[in-house]
Amino acid sequence: MKSLGIDLGGTKIAAAAVEEGKILDYHRVDTPRTGIEDVLDSMAAAAKAVLALHPDIRAIGVGSPGPIDFTRGMVVFAPNIPGMENAPLVSGLERRLELPVVLENDANAAGLAEHLYGAAREVKSSIYITISTGIGGGMVVGERVLHGKHGLSGEVGHMTLQPGGPLCGCGYHGCWESLASGRAIAREASFSYRRHVPTVEAFKRAQAGEWKALKVIDNAAYYSGLALANLLKAFDPDLFVIGGGLSQVGSFYFDKVQAAADSFCQGFGRVEIKFAELGVDAGVIGAASVAAGEA
C-alpha cells in the first residue's frame, strides 16, 4: 500500500511517498526552532508537496524523536526541538492534512524499516540500535514494533551499565548513552587530550594508533558490547541492526564491539550484528510503513 512517511528530525523534516519500502517522491524542509505550531506548519507543507504528486495516498505515518504517548498521539518531549513538550502531533497534522495520522518514535520507525526492508528483512525478531549523539533503539518481533506499557520499549540507551558512571542527559549516571554515544566519546577524548576533540577526530586518532584515543574508543566499544550481550541474554533476538552516525565508522569500531559482545556471551550464543542498510531513508520508510499498517 502506498502511504506518506514524515520524519521529524532536529534539523530537517523529510516527507516521502513510499510503496513497499521504496521511496517514490521526497521533499525536505528545515525544522523550525520557533515552536510547535511552526513545526506542524512545516511538516504539513512538506507533506502537501508530496501529496500533490500522490493524491491517492490515504494514510500518513510520522516518526518523531522523544518518548511518545501513543494513547494521546503526543510527543512527550524532544530535547533537540524547541517547544516539543506534550506536542499534539497527531491532532495538529490531522487538522492540517485531513488524513489519518499515526505517530511512532523515530528509532522504532527506523527499526521497523530495517526489519521489513533492510538489514533484518530475513529474520523474525530484531533489535535496532541507533548510535549517534545519543543512543536509541527499537525492538521488532514479527512485523510489529513493541511499545510497552509506558511507550518505553527500546529505550535501551538508558539502561544503566556502570552504576555511578558518567552523568547522562536523562539525569542518571552510567547509562549506555553516557558511556558509548558520540557525545560520550567526544567528552572522554576531550578530557584525555585536555582540549575539545570531536567524535570524528577521536576515531581518526584511534585509527592512527594514538593510545589516548584508542583507550576512549575501546572503552566505548566495551560498553556497547556489554549492552548487546545483556540484550541477548534477556531477549535473544535473531539480529542486532546498528544504525546512526557511528555506524559510518565501520568495522574498525564495530569489530571491537562484536569482540566485546562475544566475550560476554561464551557458552550463551553468538551476538549477530549487521549494519543498517537504508541509511537516512529508514526514518521516512519506517514512518510510512507504520501508516500502511505494516506494523
Contact positions vs a copy of itself (CB under 8 A): 125, 137, 139, 141, 146-156, 158-163, 170-172, 222, 226, 229-238, 264, 266-270, 272
User: Of the two residues 55 and 171, which places its CB atom closer to a copy of itself in the complex?
Assistant: 171
Nearest-approach distance from CB 67 to a copy of itself, in angstroms: 8
Nearest-approach distance from CB 121 to a copy of itself, in angstroms: 16
Nearest-approach distance from CB 293 to a copy of itself, in angstroms: 19
- Tell me the H-state helices in the chain: 36-51, 89-97, 106-117, 176-180, 182-193, 199-207, 211-235, 251-263, 282-291
**Strand 273-275 versus strand 239-243 pairing type:** parallel
The Cα-based distances of 281 to 14, 16, 87, 204, 288 in angstroms read: 9, 9, 24, 27, 11
Q: Could you give the CA distance from residue 126 to residue 146 in angstroms, rounded to a whole number?
A: 11
Nearest-approach distance from CB 73 to a copy of itself, in angstroms: 18
Give me the residue label for grid cell 516518526. 63
Q: Could you give the CA distance from residue 218 to residue 191 in angstroms, rounded to a whole number?
A: 15
Nearest-approach distance from CB 258 to a copy of itself, in angstroms: 16
User: Of the two residues 47 and 260, which places its CB atom closer to a copy of itself in the complex?
Assistant: 260
User: Of the two residues 193 and 264, which places its CB atom closer to a copy of itself in the complex?
Assistant: 264
User: Of the two residues 31 and 64, which places its CB atom closer to a copy of itself in the complex?
Assistant: 64
The Cα-based distances of 141 to 83, 90, 138, 154, 239 in angstroms read: 33, 25, 10, 12, 11
User: Of the two residues 155 and 294, which places its CB atom closer to a copy of itself in the complex?
Assistant: 155
Q: Could you give the CA distance from residue 224 to residue 185 in angstroms, rounded to a whole number?
A: 12
Q: Could you give the CA distance from residue 52 to residue 287 in angstroms, rounded to a whole number?
A: 19
User: Of the two residues 80 and 162, which places its CB atom closer to a copy of itself in the complex?
Assistant: 162
User: Of the two residues 88 and 151, which places its CB atom closer to a copy of itself in the complex?
Assistant: 151
Nearest-approach distance from CB 238 to a copy of itself, in angstroms: 5
Identify which of 1, 4, 2 has the alpha carbon closest to the alpha carbon of residue 288: 4
Nearest-approach distance from CB 198 to a copy of itself, in angstroms: 27
List, as one string, the DSSP characters of 112-137.
Answer: HHHHHHSTTTTSSEEEEEEESSSEEE
Do 237 and 125 form a contact (C-beta atoms < 8 A)?
yes
